[in-house]
Each structure stands twice: as structure tokens, then as C-alpha cells.
Amino acid sequence: MAILYTESRDAESISKALQVDNNDMDDFSITTKTEKGRIVTRVESEGVNTLLSSLDDVIKCQMVAEDSI
């Protein structure tokens, strides 16, 4: 499991944009929300490679969203 905390100019909007990817399956889950003005993404996976790839994807998507606001 990994938890990614990130700052944003508009954490609420960015978090909402990323929430479309929220997913809860047996061997993988990802949840993004806003907490105390920060974006919090929690990823759970049985495989380390999946965990790292998912975090990388979230960071890239967040960067694109930041650039568009």
C-alpha cells in the first residue's frame, strides 16, 4: 500500500478530476480525495510493479490537470 499526499493550487478540482479513476477490486484499489487542502491518493496492490505504475499514472494525470487549470 502507498499513500501519496500532494499540494495543489486547486486541490478540490484536481481531486474531483482524478476521482473518476477510483476503483475497488479484490487485488487492487485506488482512491483519491481531498483532505485538509491536499490531494490524497491511496493505492493498494498485491504487486509492487502495479503499485508503482499506478502511482506514476496518478502523478502524470495530476500534472496534466494542474497545467489545465
**SS3 of residue 9 by DSSP:** coil
| Element at 25 (helix H, strand E) | none
Domain boundaries, the chain: 2-68
9 φ/ψ angles, rounded to the nearest 5 degrees: -65, -30
| C-alpha torsion sign, points 52, 54, 57, 59 | negative
Confidence category of residue 50, pLDDT binned at 50, 70, 90: very high
**Is the pTM above the cut of 0.85?**
yes
**SS3 of residue 13 by DSSP:** helix
CATH 1.10.3720.10 fits 2-68, yes or no: no
Quote the pLDDT of residue 33.
96
Quote the pLDDT of residue 4.
96
Alpha-carbon distance of 57 to 4, in angstroms, equals 12
User: In the predicted model, is pLDDT for residue 68 greater than 90?
Assistant: no
